[in-house]
């Protein structure tokens, strides 16, 4: 079980900001608008909202409940429930730890690029054009140095602990993120072409709803809420027993979805503003060009065309992206760090430097073999490991955990829950609907 020195979130707001921060990352600010733009805008938005409500939210409650019950890392928390097969519990805990480490290794490279794009316009203004260009142009050395810089930022926050590191920085950074979003959306709406993008984003075209859109939307909902990789199990373990889990999970899911929605409000209109400035965003067939690097091609081209306002806007946008990336990366590093602390009895500082350093080394190896490794690591961790681990958590909560014991855990923060509609539906839902739905979508993505 947990050690007595184990940290806790000092307030519910702190937890909500940290968990929302974990959920709000590049998946929301970059992945969601890109997928929405590639899948007909509003049609994707509607299906995504349905997937968050029908799949991601029930699974978020499940993961937080596992963590709070165990009051420990994913390995020990799973063992505390899966008492008849502790070896399987430990194995899946270790796989979750590996998955979160793999995601962080490629995530640090992307986040490093964003740091480069944030600094570049400022260096340009100071007359250091060569350095500014170096930061935004692909090279092995740039990729390595920027990934290392971002890794050190992540290590710095996690080393400080739960309340002084993760909670403190999440409660500082998340409000900044919200304010930056508000300012930038308001500004983009004043530009020519923005309304065309807004129309695409908010008025659904049913013709766009296809099986592949459903797969994309579920993957997006899962990835954006940090599900499957143990991050929410770890954050749940730092929760006090009097917290109402379903209510708190709903608030985290709502903030996460709100940020994804806001990102769409910013980026789809911005694409059409860019088009208005002569930047090509669609090919002859009407498909989105360069969807993967939309953030690194279309938007910087638009900022360049806006003069000094564009410099400020570009800086603001990429700082926003770095904040979103950092609040997610700290939760991913926390998964293996919490395991090393509890299982190997390391100090937090030792565990953070050792594991953070090992993941940074993996980032360097991926950077130096970018073509061969980047997509491979990203796909193995997010397309395969993340949903399959989600199925395992659903089986643990739905089938392995005795229903009365599960109820006892959830009742601690909400004594009346046994009579609620939530309790009448949720255990059966996690038992049958969630694993089947995740496996169906996973199977389709393989085909």
**What whole-number distance in Å separates Cα of residue 245 and Cα of residue 413?**
7
pLDDT at 290: 59
- Residue pair 181/266 in contact (Cβ under 8 Å)? The answer is yes
pLDDT at 291: 58
Range of the domain at 88: 12-368
Q: Is the dihedral of CA 326, 33, 53, 433 positive or negative?
A: negative
CA distance 295 to 31: 10
Residue 404 falls inside a structural domain: no
- Is residue 446 in some structural domain? no
Q: The CATH number of the domain where 153 resides is what?
A: 1.10.4160.10
β-sheet bridge partners, residue 282: 288
Round to whole Å and give the CA distance between 401 and 68: 14
The Cα–Cα gap between 220 and 439 comes to 15
Are 319 and 16 within 8 A, CB to CB?
A: no
| Domain membership flag for residue 407 | no
Kindly state the tokens that stand for 2. 């947990």
Which tokens go with 122? 């400022």
In a domain, 4, yes or no: no
User: Does the residue 438 lie in any domain?
Assistant: no
Q: In total, how many domains does the chain have? A: 1
In a domain, 430, yes or no: no
Euclidean distance between CA atoms 104 and 328, whole angstroms: 9
pLDDT per residue, tens digit, the chain (447 aa), is 444 356 677 777 888 888 777 777 777 777 788 788 777 788 888 888 888 888 889 999 999 999 999 988 999 999 999 999 999 999 999 999 999 999 999 999 999 999 999 999 888 888 899 999 999 999 999 999 999 999 999 999 888 887 787 888 888 888 888 888 888 888 888 888 889 888 888 887 777 777 778 777 877 887 777 788 888 898 888 888 888 999 989 988 888 888 888 888 888 888 888 888 777 777 666 666 655 666 777 778 777 777 777 788 888 888 888 888 888 898 899 899 999 998 999 999 999 999 999 999 999 999 999 999 999 998 888 888 888 899 999 999 999 999 899 999 999 888 899 999 999 999 999 999 989 888 887 887 777
Residue 73 falls within a domain, yes or no? yes
421 within some domain: no
């Amino acid at each position: 079980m947990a050690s007595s020195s184990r940290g806790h979130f000092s307030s519910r707001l702190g937890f909500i900001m940290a968990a929302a921060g974990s959920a709000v990352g590049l998946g929301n600010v970059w992945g969601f608008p890109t997928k929405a733009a590639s899948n007909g805008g509003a049609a994707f938005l509607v299906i995504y909202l349905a997937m968050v409500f029908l799949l991601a939210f029930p699974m978020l409650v499940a993961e937080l409940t596992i963590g709070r019950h165990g009051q420990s890392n994913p390995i020990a928390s799973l063992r505390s429930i899966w008492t008849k097969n502790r070896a399987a519990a430990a194995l899946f805990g270790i796989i979750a730890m590996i998955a979160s480490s793999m995601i962080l290794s490629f995530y640090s490279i992307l986040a490093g690029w964003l740091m480069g794009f944030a600094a570049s316009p400022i260096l340009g203004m100071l007359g250091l054009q060569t350095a500014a260009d170096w930061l935004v142009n692909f090279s092995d050395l740039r990729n390595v140095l920027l990934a290392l810089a971002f890794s050190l930022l992540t290590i710095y926050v996690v080393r400080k602990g739960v309340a002084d590191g993760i909670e403190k920085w999440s409660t500082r950074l998340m409000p900044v993120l919200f304010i930056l979003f508000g300012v930038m959306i308001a500004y983009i709406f004043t530009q020519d072409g923005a309304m065309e993008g807004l129309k695409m984003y908010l008025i659904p075209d049913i013709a766009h709803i296809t099986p592949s859109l459903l797969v994309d939307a579920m993957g997006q909902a899962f990835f954006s809420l940090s599900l499957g990789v143990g991050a929410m199990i770890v954050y749940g373990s730092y929760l006090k027993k009097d917290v109402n889990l379903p209510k708190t999970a709903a608030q985290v899911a709502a903030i996460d979805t709100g940020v994804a929605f806001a990102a769409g409000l910013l980026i789809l209109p911005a694409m059409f503003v860019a088009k208005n400035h002569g930047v090509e965003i669609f090919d002859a067939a009407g498909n989105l060009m360069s969807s993967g690097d939309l953030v690194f091609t279309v938007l910087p081209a638009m900022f360049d065309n806006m003069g000094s306002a564009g410099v400020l806007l570009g800086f603001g946008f990429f700082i926003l992206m770095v904040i979103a990336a950092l609040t997610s990366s700290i939760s991913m590093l926390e998964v293996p760090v919490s395991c090393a602390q509890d299982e190997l009895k390391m100090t937090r500082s030792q565990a953070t430097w050792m594991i953070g350093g090992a993941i940074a080394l993996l980032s360097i190896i991926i950077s130096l073999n970018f073509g061969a490794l980047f997509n491979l690591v990203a796909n193995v961790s997010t397309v395969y490991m993340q949903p399959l681990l989600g199925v395992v958590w659903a089986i643990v909560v739905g089938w392995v955990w005795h229903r009365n014991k599960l109820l006892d855990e959830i009742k601690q923060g909400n004594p009346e829950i046994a009579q609620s509609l939530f309790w009448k539906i949720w255990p059966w839902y996690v038992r049958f609907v969630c694993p089947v739905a995740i496996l169906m979508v996973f199977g389709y993505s393989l085909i």
